[in-house]
Amino acid sequence: MEVILEEIIIYSITLALCIWLVYYYVQSEKKKSQKIQEKVNIAKEEGRFEPVSLYPHIDLTRCIGSGACVRACPEKDILGIVDGKATVINATNCIGHGACFHACPVEAITLRIGTETRGVDLPHVQPTYETNVKGIFIAGELGGMGLIKNSTEQGVQAVDNIFAQKKPSKPEVLDLLIVGAGPAGIAAGLNAKKHGLSFEILEQDSLGGAVFTFPREKIVMTSPMDLPLYGKIKLFETSKEELLTIWQGILSSNQITLREHSKVESIIPLEVGGFKVLTSQGDEYKTQQVLLAIGRRGSPRKLQVPGEEQTKVAYRLLEPERISNKKILVVGGGDSAIESAMLLMKNNEVTLSYRSDKFSRIKPKNKENIDLAMSASQLKVLFNSEVKRIEKDQVILSLENQEELVSIENDLIYIFAGGELPVQFLKSIGITVEKKFGKIVKLHKRHQG
């Protein structure tokens, strides 16, 4: 009898302990879920819930809430678990690396561009990266892939497809002309060299493309990437200079040169096949195939106000450490504007003009830094403001709820109003540009293990 009683007591204690553990786990998960939901609500209020570029879309009917996607994401507060299902939190801060897509054990995640209500203009590109114009391919940011690693992969894959349909070489005709020397263009050039193609790389600015326009101290966030003729590059946090130096060294060691400051003005199909490419410098190239590896921004968006043509107005910041003791106005509320303003405020008197009433679609770290700078009076921020006129020694702005215009002393102006997809250029070539709503971007699933 005593043995039975003892067994009952042990069983009861074990059962009570199991019940307590289950209760503790459920309550713990509930608290975690509530915290994530609070973050989602804040993101919605601050305008960071709606994606602006490539982002993960979660199929809730397939999601099992394993949290593998959350653990795989190297960024902070992009994904979380609410009520046992994965959810996007700060979609505007997603950089589209696809780690969540590869980590999901049930393939409940797809990477998409645009939402059901907000479309994104994208050129028509087939899975082979060829456009509706036979012989013209697109890879990288222009097709929606802005992350360095993804752009690099697309540049490699596009050239693989180009090589697969290579026609017999012709005298004085290139096998391939690569337009753009950013991540996609550099990788494409290396792969073209590997395949033995005759090619040229044209870049309207300098090596690096959009990366070149980053401020000198800006940290480039990337992830391991494979480059033909070189191998794997493992970089997670690096300066712009380091990344450009690596690229320059790889190109140089493989005897690959590029033509900088050579902007393509037109691409004309030839009756005998292939294309004639003309640049703004008057150069002419004949090529069998073309790869467009240019950025989505195209030309910087201007304010279209009187005085904007002055030399004191710029649309990118390259060497902030060389600028000191100036009265500077930075226009914009995105990451580029905020990062540039904070670099300039070290040695200058900086005012930041933003047309909205608060910063929304910026990285969490930038939000934290700008809030600290504002509280420490290191720079002045004019919310709900708009530049009306630019004069030699001053700028005229309008402020919300203020009838009279405001004048501030000024030496330099940096405008970060984004850029526009080079739609007219694409259409002049014959490439179809469509507004995509929730377009799924195809990535190759990596094998786990």
Among the residue ranges 19-23, 104-108, 395-399, the one predicted with the least confidence is 19-23
Q: If we measure between CA atoms, which residue out of 23, 81, 85, 39 comes closest to residue 60? A: 85
Whether residues 152 and 92 fall in one domain:
no
Q: If we measure between CA atoms, which residue out of 81, 65, 274, 49 comes closest to residue 174? A: 274
Q: What pLDDT is recorded for position 274?
A: 93
Place of tokens 């709900």: 384
* Tokens standing for residue 343: 């670099």
Would 283 be classed as within a structural domain? yes
Would 440 be classed as within a structural domain? no
CATH number of domain containing 31: 3.30.70.20
Give pLDDT tens digits for 260-297: 889 899 999 998 889 999 998 889 999 999 999 987 66
Q: If you ran DSSP here, which 8-state letter would residue 448 be given?
A: P
- Domain final residue, candidates 113, 145, 171: 113
**436 Cβ neighbours under 8 A, 6+ residues apart:** 113, 114, 119, 120, 121, 122
Would 304 be classed as within a structural domain? no
Give pLDDT tens digits for 192-242: 999 999 999 999 878 877 776 666 656 665 567 788 988 887 766 677 777
Would 437 be classed as within a structural domain? no
Whether residues 157 and 57 fall in one domain:
no
Whether residues 13 and 82 fall in one domain:
yes
- Residue type for position 193: K
Query: Parallel, antiparallel, or unpaired for β 174-179 and 284-292?
Result: parallel
Whether residues 108 and 172 fall in one domain:
no
Whether residues 38 and 84 fall in one domain:
yes
Whether residues 103 and 56 fall in one domain:
yes
Domain count, the chain: 3
Whether residues 135 and 282 fall in one domain:
yes
* CA–CA gap between residue 414 and residue 398 (Å, rounded): 18
> Beta-strand (E) ranges in 143-202?
174-179, 199-202
Whether residues 34 and 79 fall in one domain:
yes
- How close are the terminal C-alpha atoms of the chain, in Å? 54
- Residue type for position 216: R
Would 141 be classed as within a structural domain? yes
Would 320 be classed as within a structural domain? yes
Q: What pLDDT is recorded for position 317?
A: 85
Whether residues 21 and 141 fall in one domain:
no
* CA–CA gap between residue 356 and residue 62 (Å, rounded): 38
Q: What is the mean pLDDT of residues 135-148?
A: 78
Q: What is the mean pLDDT of residues 362-378?
A: 88
* Tokens standing for residue 225: 């990437």
Question: To the nearest whole percent, how much of the chain has pLDDT over 90?
Answer: 39
Residue 216, class by beta-carbon neighbours within 10 Å (0-12 exposed, 13-18 middle, 19+ buried)?
middle
Cα–Cα distance list, 94 to 7, 57, 119, 122, 195 (Å): 55, 12, 17, 19, 34
42-56, 371-385, 417-431: which has the highest mean pLDDT?
371-385
Q: How confident is the model at residue 155 (pLDDT cuts 50, 70, 90)?
A: very high
Query: Parallel, antiparallel, or unpaired for β 284-292 and 275-279?
Result: antiparallel
Would 443 be classed as within a structural domain? no
Whether residues 262 and 397 fall in one domain:
no
Question: To the nearest whole percent, how much of the chain has pLDDT over 70?
Answer: 90
Range of the domain at 323: 313-415
CATH number of domain containing 131: 3.50.50.60
Would 205 be classed as within a structural domain? yes
**3-state secondary structure labels for all residues of 271-287:** CCCCEEEEECCCCEEEE
Q: If we measure between CA atoms, which residue out of 93, 100, 80, 78 comes closest to residue 31? A: 80
Whether residues 209 and 277 fall in one domain:
yes
**425 Cβ neighbours under 8 A, 6+ residues apart:** 298
Q: What pLDDT is recorded for position 134?
A: 94
Q: Would the pLDDT of 62 be above 80?
A: yes
Place of tokens 């300098």: 206
* CA–CA gap between residue 441 and residue 143 (Å, rounded): 10
- Domain final residue, candidates 45, 80, 113: 113
369-404 in b/e burial notation, b at 16+ Cβ within 10 A? bbeebeeeeebbbbeebbbeebeeebbbbbeeeeee
How much is the mean pLDDT over the chain? 85
Cα–Cα distance list, 45 to 119, 177, 266, 356, 361 (Å): 21, 46, 44, 14, 11
Q: Which CB contacts under 8 angstroms, 24+ apart, belong to 353-358?
A: 353/329, 353/382, 353/385, 353/386, 353/387, 353/397, 354/381, 354/382, 354/383, 354/384, 354/385, 355/384, 355/385, 355/386, 356/383, 356/384, 357/383, 357/384, 357/400, 358/46, 358/383
Whether residues 273 and 171 fall in one domain:
yes
Under DSSP, is residue 300 helix (H, G, I), strand (E, B) or coil?
strand
Give pLDDT tens digits for 234-252: 766 677 777 888 888 999 9
Q: Would the pLDDT of 448 be above 60?
A: no
